[in-house]
A and B are shown apart, each in its own frame.
Chain A
């Protein structure tokens, strides 16, 4: 009896398996289904707007942590759906480190329809992770799709992309014409700057007035030291009546920024510490005496209590509190658009000269910032490319930068958007509430992660940044500072360059990880040297860091840089 039952169960199980296999076989591959779906899409697209892409949901995972606003305003999401058929959903990761999150995300392999990540140039550490994933066939080749777009096809034209973006990020020679990483934030024209940023140290205006000093006349670190001494002797107080520090940290907290002692930093074109000497030889700062010169200068400032002892380690909230309380006579680094200095209490100091002589503004021809890729697991990747292209178009940008016509803006006679007064008022009074309206002008950049490129808002919308036309005084304070600093004059004489950053080739350098670590160690060693007992100890610390860099292959890397610089496709920025 038991044996019969066993037989019966065996037969039933076998039949079930056979039936399942048959059903699976009848199902066929997913591609014909996809083709069928695409056919249905085409039929459904009939009678839809010209911007229609496909009726589907697209999910994006953005490795930019707290810079990302995940939720979309329902009305704007509805409008996007009406225009393109796409329902866009963004998810942010990387709040405790975007690079770490990207490495873990790629290793996990469970990626949605597209991913977005930071990438200002090909030397950024994220690039090597993405290249590794591309080499291992994790991403779709997007080059064929770019040709069929309206905006992104510019990426395939000569002279549109900056060198590093073209050959270092998009069309890397190793990929033979394939493109796996689409760089964002490329200006339409070279040297295009939306805002007139004036970075650097700033001094309390009342103190400068009281001492009778024109802060713009301070152009060397020695003059800065003399000024700090005068401030200390002046016994100035903060808003709470307490003594102030002559030099406080940057408004973003304890960071070692070059601008405070620019004439003592072998900074290179973009602050990576690689630069040519008078004979054109590439050197890293560790091979020069500038590290020690700087250590001597900072030790003097700390010893004489002219600099806040936590200048290099203060948390951002404390630094901001210090700035708001006027507790620092000089802020180590800030710029004219930060809200902590809305009333221009602090005015720019310098700029200080560089090791080469008088200050000159350095600008890159064009620069990227973020990037996106489409994992191989995504069906119909062309839909995402089309969505990106739509978002990069004027029509798309109007939606994600200005919101909805009638609700958030009206069009003027020239067809440019004019933000509604109530939106601008809300933005002034309650920025958090305004952000819920869900477009970039009020702080939600949902469209930027795919469409933030081919930038020229002045040409597209008649204003360089949101709301300027409707409210000309929206940037009054920052522009006053720019005028005071003679921004336009400096920009006219700016050194505009195109090329590769010094660390752009670290991924292809055999000891790249060790060298990166040794470079980080060198920066930490500098801070250690600033706090050393005396100059001898500082020298020993810096010598040890320099030796570590040598062991990590610094000399070979410099040889590689020289070799790259000889190729017009990989010439250096400096």
Chain B
């Protein structure tokens, strides 16, 4: 009897504890309601444009019929996935996508960090603002403009690069955009040029957030600039680097449609045909929405698995993670 009472008491206590926790949460939310109101549009945005459309993923398992709509169309199981893997191109598509993504995720990672460190070392704030402005600007150009510029710069005979080659005594008629070997450098460096400034913003903000007392202490201990960067700045922004890296892994099977689509030519199609361009051709242009959705879903699921795995690894090894 006594034992039973103690059990009831524990349950009651636990229930009461949860209730009081809930009421504390509501009170806290009430105290900061302005902040929650500011958050509300974001939550509504994601619900409307990210979560509700996820219901459409069922299309990946359905034979979409115009008159029956997404939910009324008949189920066809994993047919689209089988179709994709039976396509002789699928391996090449996945390989190309992974190579381009890996270049953007791994090789491109140090560039914005280095740029942020450089911004941090510019003492004159006006000069720093000017450099930052110049570095951010390309982010606001669409890929159509950037690739248009590249076409002119890399054009055979008349392009800037070929003019320089001719001036140096070379042939000057190389059609770089038709060369398979020129595709990766063109893709990578144009990506860096366009996005390095914008990506450096978060790193720079993280650097600014590091306690200045740490630098002063290091200086007093005789640490030079490189030592300060190595022992204070980089460890200080490590959580930011890890979080951004994990987030970027979510898009590992999406190599950036606009840029690749525009840079794709018959000459480089062996390395530039990626899953996104394939989805556009098969899914949208051929009206096979279910097939397109299945490939898109596969990209998303693999991205999600990678994010979850790497997040756990980062939590264990670096004590930094998304959650």
* A residues at B contact (CB < 8 Å): 97, 99-100, 102-104, 106-107, 109, 125, 128-129, 132-133, 136-138, 305, 309-310, 312-313, 513-514, 516-517, 521, 524-528, 531, 548, 551
Indicate whether B282 reaches chain A with its CB closer than 8 angstroms. yes
Please state if B285 and A99 are interface contacts (CB–CB under 8 Å).
Answer: yes
CB nearest neighbor in B for A136: B67
Please state if A100 and B284 are interface contacts (CB–CB under 8 Å).
Answer: yes
5 additional A-B pairs beyond A103-B287, A109-B69, A125-B285, beta carbons within 8 Å, are A103-B286, A137-B67, A305-B173, A309-B173, A531-B179
Please state if B66 and A106 are interface contacts (CB–CB under 8 Å).
Answer: yes
Rounded to whole angstroms, the CA-CA distance of A521 and B178 in the bound complex is 15
Please state if B287 and A129 are interface contacts (CB–CB under 8 Å).
Answer: yes
Please state if A531 and B178 are interface contacts (CB–CB under 8 Å).
Answer: yes
Please state if A514 and B87 are interface contacts (CB–CB under 8 Å).
Answer: yes
Indicate whether B265 reaches chain A with its CB closer than 8 angstroms. yes
Distance in Å: Cβ of A161 to nearest Cβ of chain B? 26
Rounded to whole angstroms, the CA-CA distance of A312 and B88 in the bound complex is 27
> Chain B residues with Cβ under 8 A from A99's Cβ?
285
Rounded to whole angstroms, the CA-CA distance of A128 and B66 in the bound complex is 13
Please state if B177 and A100 are interface contacts (CB–CB under 8 Å).
Answer: no
> Chain A residues with Cβ under 8 A from B64's Cβ?
107
Indicate whether B266 reaches chain A with its CB closer than 8 angstroms. yes
Please state if B287 and A106 are interface contacts (CB–CB under 8 Å).
Answer: yes
Please state if B175 and A132 are interface contacts (CB–CB under 8 Å).
Answer: no
Indicate whether B281 reaches chain A with its CB closer than 8 angstroms. yes
Closest 3 CB pairs between A and B? A103-B287, A527-B266, A309-B156
> Chain A residues with Cβ under 8 A from B156's Cβ?
309-310
Distance in Å: Cβ of A525 to nearest Cβ of chain B? 7
> Chain A residues with Cβ under 8 A from B282's Cβ?
513, 517
Rounded to whole angstroms, the CA-CA distance of A531 and B157 in the bound complex is 15
CB nearest neighbor in B for A103: B287
8 Å CB contact of B289 from A107, A125, A128, A525: A107
Rounded to whole angstroms, the CA-CA distance of A517 and B90 in the bound complex is 13
Kindly identify, within residues 64 to 81 of chain B, every residue whose CB is under 8 Å from any CB belonging to chain A.
Answer: 64-69
Per-residue CB proximity of B136-159 to A under 8 Å, as 1/0?
A: 000000000000000000011100
> Chain A residues with Cβ under 8 A from B67's Cβ?
109, 136-138
> Chain A residues with Cβ under 8 A from B265's Cβ?
313, 527
Please state if A103 and B88 are interface contacts (CB–CB under 8 Å).
Answer: no
CB nearest neighbor in A for B155: A310
Distance in Å: Cβ of B221 to nearest Cβ of chain A? 60
CB nearest neighbor in A for B268: A528
Distance in Å: Cβ of A310 to nearest Cβ of chain B? 7
Rounded to whole angstroms, the CA-CA distance of A125 and B286 in the bound complex is 8
Rounded to whole angstroms, the CA-CA distance of A138 and B64 in the bound complex is 14
Please state if B287 and A531 are interface contacts (CB–CB under 8 Å).
Answer: no
Please state if A97 and B266 are interface contacts (CB–CB under 8 Å).
Answer: no
Count of B residues near A, CB < 8 Å? 30
CB nearest neighbor in A for B152: A318
> Chain B residues with Cβ under 8 A from A137's Cβ?
67
Distance in Å: Cβ of B274 to nearest Cβ of chain A? 15
CB nearest neighbor in A for B64: A107
A to B CB contacts below 8 Å, 17 in the list = A97-B285, A99-B285, A103-B284, A103-B289, A107-B64, A107-B287, A109-B66, A309-B175, A312-B266, A313-B177, A513-B286, A514-B87, A526-B266, A528-B178, A528-B269, A531-B178, A531-B266
The binding surface of chain B is classed by DSSP as loop
Distance in Å: Cβ of A548 to nearest Cβ of chain B? 7
Please state if B287 and A551 are interface contacts (CB–CB under 8 Å).
Answer: no
Distance in Å: Cβ of B148 to nearest Cβ of chain A? 9
Distance in Å: Cβ of B96 to nearest Cβ of chain A? 14
Please state if A136 and B68 are interface contacts (CB–CB under 8 Å).
Answer: yes
Please state if B266 and A525 are interface contacts (CB–CB under 8 Å).
Answer: yes
Distance in Å: Cβ of A286 to nearest Cβ of chain B? 15
Per-residue CB proximity of B285-308 to A under 8 Å, as 1/0?
A: 111110000000000000000000
8 Å CB contact of A309 from B66, B157, B270: B157
> Chain B residues with Cβ under 8 A from A548's Cβ?
88-89
Distance in Å: Cβ of B281 to nearest Cβ of chain A? 7
Kindly identify, within residues 254 to 286 of chain B, every residue whose CB is under 8 Å from any CB belonging to chain A.
Answer: 265-267, 269-270, 281-282, 284-286
Kindly identify, within residues 156 to 176 of chain B, every residue whose CB is under 8 Å from any CB belonging to chain A.
Answer: 156-157, 173, 175
Rounded to whole angstroms, the CA-CA distance of A132 and B73 in the bound complex is 14
Rounded to whole angstroms, the CA-CA distance of A528 and B183 in the bound complex is 14
Distance in Å: Cβ of A295 to nearest Cβ of chain B? 12
Distance in Å: Cβ of B284 to nearest Cβ of chain A? 5
Rounded to whole angstroms, the CA-CA distance of A132 and B265 in the bound complex is 32
A102, A125, A517: residue with the most chain B Cβ atoms closer than 10 Å: A517
Given the interface pairs A312-B266, A524-B266, the reply to whether A133 lies near B286 with Cβ below 8 Å is no
CB nearest neighbor in A for B177: A313
> Chain B residues with Cβ under 8 A from A516's Cβ?
286
Rounded to whole angstroms, the CA-CA distance of A136 and B66 in the bound complex is 7
Rounded to whole angstroms, the CA-CA distance of A103 and B291 in the bound complex is 14
> Chain B residues with Cβ under 8 A from A106's Cβ?
66, 287
> Chain A residues with Cβ under 8 A from B286's Cβ?
103, 125, 513, 516
Rounded to whole angstroms, the CA-CA distance of A137 and B88 in the bound complex is 35
> Chain A residues with Cβ under 8 A from B288's Cβ?
513
> Chain B residues with Cβ under 8 A from A525's Cβ?
266
Distance in Å: Cβ of B262 to nearest Cβ of chain A? 12
B66, B87, B155, B289: residue with the most chain A Cβ atoms closer than 10 Å: B66
Rounded to whole angstroms, the CA-CA distance of A104 and B288 in the bound complex is 10
> Chain A residues with Cβ under 8 A from B287's Cβ?
102-103, 106-107, 128-129, 132
B67, B69, B156: residue with the most chain A Cβ atoms closer than 10 Å: B67
> Chain A residues with Cβ under 8 A from B68's Cβ?
136
> Chain B residues with Cβ under 8 A from A109's Cβ?
66-67, 69
Rounded to whole angstroms, the CA-CA distance of A25 and B277 in the bound complex is 52
8 Å CB contact of B285 from A100, A514, A521: A100
Distance in Å: Cβ of B164 to nearest Cβ of chain A? 17
Given the interface pairs A309-B173, A310-B156, the reply to whether A136 lies near B281 with Cβ below 8 Å is no
Rounded to whole angstroms, the CA-CA distance of A373 and B130 in the bound complex is 58
CB nearest neighbor in A for B87: A514
Rounded to whole angstroms, the CA-CA distance of A516 and B286 in the bound complex is 10
Rounded to whole angstroms, the CA-CA distance of A309 and B89 in the bound complex is 29
> Chain B residues with Cβ under 8 A from A107's Cβ?
64, 66, 287, 289
> Chain A residues with Cβ under 8 A from B179's Cβ?
531
Rounded to whole angstroms, the CA-CA distance of A304 and B285 in the bound complex is 39
Distance in Å: Cβ of A546 to nearest Cβ of chain B? 13
Distance in Å: Cβ of B112 to nearest Cβ of chain A? 32
Distance in Å: Cβ of A399 to nearest Cβ of chain B? 34
CB nearest neighbor in A for B157: A309
Rounded to whole angstroms, the CA-CA distance of A548 and B67 in the bound complex is 35
> Chain B residues with Cβ under 8 A from A305's Cβ?
173
Please state if A138 and B66 are interface contacts (CB–CB under 8 Å).
Answer: yes
Given the interface pairs A310-B155, A310-B156, the reply to whether A531 lies near B69 with Cβ below 8 Å is no
CB nearest neighbor in B for A523: B266
Distance in Å: Cβ of A428 to nearest Cβ of chain B? 34
Kindly identify, within residues 30 to 81 of chain B, every residue whose CB is under 8 Å from any CB belonging to chain A.
Answer: 64-69
Rounded to whole angstroms, the CA-CA distance of A100 and B288 in the bound complex is 11
CB nearest neighbor in A for B280: A100
> Chain B residues with Cβ under 8 A from A129's Cβ?
287
B179, B284, B288: residue with the most chain A Cβ atoms closer than 10 Å: B284
